[in-house]
Amino acid sequence: MNDGSSSLATRRKTRQILLAHPSNPVAVGGDAPVSIQSMTTTKTADVEGTLQQIYALAGAGADIVRCTCNDAEAAAGLAHIVPRSPVPIVADVHNNHRMALAALDAGVHCLRLNPGNIRRPEHIKLIAGEAKDRGVPIRIGVNGGSLDEKLYQKYGGKVTPEAMVESAQIEMAYFEEVGFDQIKISVKASSVPLMIEAYRQLSEATDHPLHLGVTEAGPPPAGLVKATAGIAALLAEGIGDTIRYSLTADPVEEAKAGRQLLEALGLRERKGLDLIACPSCGRAEVDVIKVANDAQAALDGFQIPIQVAVMGCVVNGPGEARDADLGIAAGRKRGHLFVKGKVVKVVPEDEMVAALVEWANLIASDGIEGALSRADSGAAAEADADRAALLDEQGADANASEQTVELIRKHLADS
């Protein structure tokens, strides 16, 4: 695993807080791995429905799950959910300080308060005092869209990074008055440049752990791109201790995206399968998009951390994906299945996906060496023959690029 010291900036040193789930505590900040969060979309009063979603989120990679605590029924629901949850639960509280106190009574492992909504100092200090007595941390969740009106006006009727950081600092000062420091902070905005700058300023101003997110990112794929742009930019700068994708989608997609981002950056070890595929080109012998999608669906949920490649042609595919644990490349109506770049089997084109699944399971049970030992003896020679035949038919320039260059030259000469 990349420890962040090579390609990414060294992670900023932050204090550590603990979400003290009895069997699955999660530390945030300090040297704890960057954690993944998501939020349930069920009514929290619906205990079974919410727990089902929490389990699905945990299965998809969420380390921490947030549930709204917006009324007395939700608080009562939390009292039943918290003892049965596999991961720490954060109660999201917006307007009513009594809901924060009720969530603490329900045993939640963390609170999220929006300083733009609960404004009376005595309420904020009361909650912080209660949280302190119970050892429950609080996230100060500043949101560009619900910034305190006074701050909004102070900064010229605009949401600015400075205004968001000041909002967090005002809340922190109340917490300090009661000696409470188990804090993490977020300064989310739907504008990516705004949230990036706000987090940069915040990380200069405090060493409390930071929760990253682009709020109201919207539905995928644009929402995924926006959230990734903001979160990844900050993580690459060494900023951020826990992340949440705020997508208009099934929250399981948020947890998956969070996991995938951290794995892609080398900040978390890969838990599941990584499917790579070539972008296809004039050499492709098969519909790469379809085969890749079919393979993705067939291998969804495969919990072995192997990399699987789907490549459009046997001429370049096995070489381009030689580092993949397992792959398949198409050619002459057949699929060349390879393990670590070595062809182990040649299958009919319509069996490519089934072969990938079979050999992924073989690697899972017997390991790479075990799979290699099962290679068909004639497979490599068959593959070489297919590759040579294709090169004969298509030549080295299967995309006809040289012909295009000639055409361009001709048009330029004629003009």
Identify which range of 16-24, 150-158, 194-202, 274-282 contacts ligand SF4 by CB under 6 A: 274-282
Identify which range of 34-42, 72-80, 306-314, 377-385 contacts ligand SF4 by CB under 6 A: 306-314
Measured from the CB atom, is 211 or 336 closer to ligand SF4?
336
Beta bridge partners of 193: none
Residue 385 is a binding residue for ligand SF4 (CB under 6 A):
no
Identify which range of 68-76, 104-112, 143-151, 309-317 contacts ligand SF4 by CB under 6 A: 309-317
Phi, psi angle pair for 98, to nearest 5°: -65, -30
Residue among 319, 300, 366, 374 nearest 344 (CA): 374
State the residue for tokens 């020679």.
381
274: left (phi over 0), alpha (psi -120 to 50) or beta: beta
Identify which range of 13-21, 29-37, 51-59, 310-318 contacts ligand SF4 by CB under 6 A: 310-318
Residue 92 is a binding residue for ligand SF4 (CB under 6 A):
no
113-117 long-range contacts (CB < 8 A, ≥24 apart) are: 113/138, 113/139, 113/140, 113/141, 113/171, 114/141, 114/142, 114/143, 114/146, 115/140, 115/141, 115/142, 115/148, 115/167, 115/168, 115/170, 115/171, 116/142, 116/143, 116/146, 116/147, 116/148, 116/167, 117/146
Give me the residue whose beta carbon is nearest to ligand SF4: 312
Measured from the CB atom, is 29 or 335 closer to ligand SF4?
335
Identify which range of 159-167, 252-260, 305-313, 344-352 contacts ligand SF4 by CB under 6 A: 305-313
User: How far, rounded to the nearest angstrom, does the alpha carbon of residue 290 sit from its chain's CA centroid?
Assistant: 24
Cβ-based neighbour number of residue 20 at 10 Å: 16
Residue 335 CB, shortest distance to ligand SF4, in Å, is 13
Tokens representing 68? 């709204």
Residue 171 is a binding residue for ligand SF4 (CB under 6 A):
no
Measured from the CB atom, is 192 or 311 closer to ligand SF4?
311
Residue 283 is a binding residue for ligand SF4 (CB under 6 A):
yes
Residue 387 is a binding residue for ligand SF4 (CB under 6 A):
no
Tokens representing 252? 């399981």
Residue 281 is a binding residue for ligand SF4 (CB under 6 A):
yes
DSSP track, 126-157: HHHHHHHHHT--EEEEEEGGG--HHHHHHTTS
Residue 278 is a binding residue for ligand SF4 (CB under 6 A):
yes
- Reply yes or no: is the peptide bond before residue 220 cis, omega within 30 of 0: no
Binding-site member from 96, 280, 296, 307 for ligand SF4 (CB under 6 A): 280
**Residues between 194 and 213 that touch ligand SF4 (CB under 6 A):** none
Binding-site member from 116, 223, 312, 331 for ligand SF4 (CB under 6 A): 312
Tokens representing 197? 């700058």
Residue 284 is a binding residue for ligand SF4 (CB under 6 A):
yes
**Residues between 313 and 372 that touch ligand SF4 (CB under 6 A):** 313, 316-317, 320
Residues in contact with ligand SF4 by CB under 6 A are 278-281, 283-284, 311-313, 316-317, 320
